[in-house]
Amino acid sequence: MPWQDNSGGNRGPWGQPPRGGGGGNNGGNQGGGNRGGGNEPPDLEDLLQASRQRLKRAFPSGRGGGRGGGGFQLNGPIMGLIGAALVGLWVFSGVYFVQPDEQGVRTTFGEYSGLSGSGMHWRAPFIQGIYLVPVDRQQTVEVGGGAAENLMLTSDRNIVDVSFTVNFKVKRTPVGENELPNAAKYIFNIENPVQMVRAVSEAAMRETIGAKELEPIITSGQLEVNTLTRTRIQEVLDEYNSGIDILRVNIDRPEVPGAVRDAFADVIKARNEKERMINEADRNANQIIPVAEGDARKIIEDARAYAARVEADSLGQAERFNKIYLEYARAPDVTRQRMYLETIEGVLGPMNKIIVDREAGSGVVPYLPLNELNRSATPQN
């Protein structure tokens, strides 16, 4: 093969010695075997020979060296070592550890096949998979922090700024015989548990806030809001068979947004003034009503006494009339005269006048008590 060795050495283009004897290629052509000038590419045979030589130097065959030996071959012991190394690597890659607060969910060809407790375990790589689930680890999701997430509408059409946290973990309650464990539900039934809890929690809180008025939310009704929201979140997650247990919900800072804070303060002030006036009216009513009730009871008692007195007087007069009637039946003239005289006495008795009957008798001088009449006529001081 033609080659120009300008460095003066006696080696081929890939570092191999020349195949035949003889002098160097100092720029000349040898014999009639040349196939062109010095710019021709190296022969393919020479490239393959150089590659075989490198492999033989890297992996000796054990049959003795020599440049003219056969091709590269792997003997039995080397093949065994390589196989053992591959098997060991496969076995070692199947070892996994489960922490005390975790459970391992094991799958075989992608299908659930069992749980692994804490400690060291082994799985068949490429055949079995393992998912580590933090079953005893309490996780926290914060909802809020953005302007849109925090603002919620109450039942009385007010806006409240709410941020809250949700604490949850994987359920440890027993399940049915043909039902997936809670750890497996946590892996297979929901794609992103934390994002799922956040979305459901925000929706549940909006539902709870929307059913309540603003004042109890920002004052004394936060415990009830927490309880109702937790119950609603748990109901929704159970519908999805998520295997998640909601531990608690805590509202951090429910307050009125700054844009309407002054107006809300005026509303609170007016409400407090209303309560003050109601309390004052109740106090006055408590003072006036007992007095009025006492006066009413006195009037009623007086009326009852008057009615009893009139009734008794009427009964007495009726009885007297009956007795007079009996006397009248026996002696009408005498009774009539007596009644007439009693009536005249009753009518004229209080008067300061004296009436003398002319027919009482002539020659009889009536006695008139003038001194007594004068005293009775004198006005009393």
The helix/strand/coil state of 43 is coil
pLDDT of residue 175: 83
**Spatial separation of the C-alpha atoms in residues 284 and 277, rounded to whole Å:** 11
Higher local confidence (pLDDT), 347 or 141 = 141
- On the CB side of 68, CA atoms within 13 Å amount to 3
Among the listed residues 212, 90, 193, the one whose alpha carbon sits nearest the alpha carbon of residue 139: 193
CB neighbours (10 Å) of residue 120? 9
Q: 233's torsion region: left (phi>0), alpha (psi -120 to 50) or beta?
A: alpha
**Spatial separation of the C-alpha atoms in residues 160 and 150, rounded to whole Å:** 8
Reported as a pLDDT band with limits 50, 70 and 90, residue 294 is very high
CB neighbours (10 Å) of residue 168? 24
Q: Which of 71-75, 274-278, 349-353 ranks highest by mean pLDDT?
A: 274-278
The residue-averaged pLDDT of 21-47 equals 47
pTM metric for this prediction: 0.52
**Spatial separation of the C-alpha atoms in residues 359 and 58, rounded to whole Å:** 185
Residue 304 has pLDDT above 60, yes or no: yes
Residue 249 has pLDDT above 80, yes or no: yes
Q: What is the pLDDT of residues 159-215, one digit of tens each?
A: 888 999 999 999 988 888 888 999 999 999 998 999 999 999 999 999 999 999 888
Reported as a pLDDT band with limits 50, 70 and 90, residue 88 is confident
Among the listed residues 242, 252, 170, the one whose alpha carbon sits nearest the alpha carbon of residue 205: 252
Beta pairing, strands 111-116 & 103-108: antiparallel
Q: What is the pLDDT of residues 161-171, one digit of tens each?
A: 899 999 999 99
**Spatial separation of the C-alpha atoms in residues 68 and 48, rounded to whole Å:** 13
**Spatial separation of the C-alpha atoms in residues 355 and 345, rounded to whole Å:** 12
Greatest alpha-carbon span in the chain: 220
Higher local confidence (pLDDT), 336 or 41 = 336
Quote the mean pLDDT of the chain: 79
Contact of 52 with 72, CB cutoff 8 Å: yes
**Spatial separation of the C-alpha atoms in residues 157 and 260, rounded to whole Å:** 13
Amino acid of residue 192: N
Residue 38 has pLDDT above 90, yes or no: no
Least confidently predicted of 54-63, 144-153, 286-295, 345-354: 54-63
Reported as a pLDDT band with limits 50, 70 and 90, residue 42 is low
Cα–Cα distance list, 27 to 24, 128, 223 (Å): 9, 67, 100
- On the CB side of 138, CA atoms within 13 Å amount to 8
Q: Which of 73-77, 121-125, 142-146, 263-267 ranks highest by mean pLDDT?
A: 121-125
CA 34 vs. chain centroid, Å, equals 93
Least confidently predicted of 66-70, 150-154, 196-200, 249-253: 66-70
Higher local confidence (pLDDT), 297 or 31 = 297
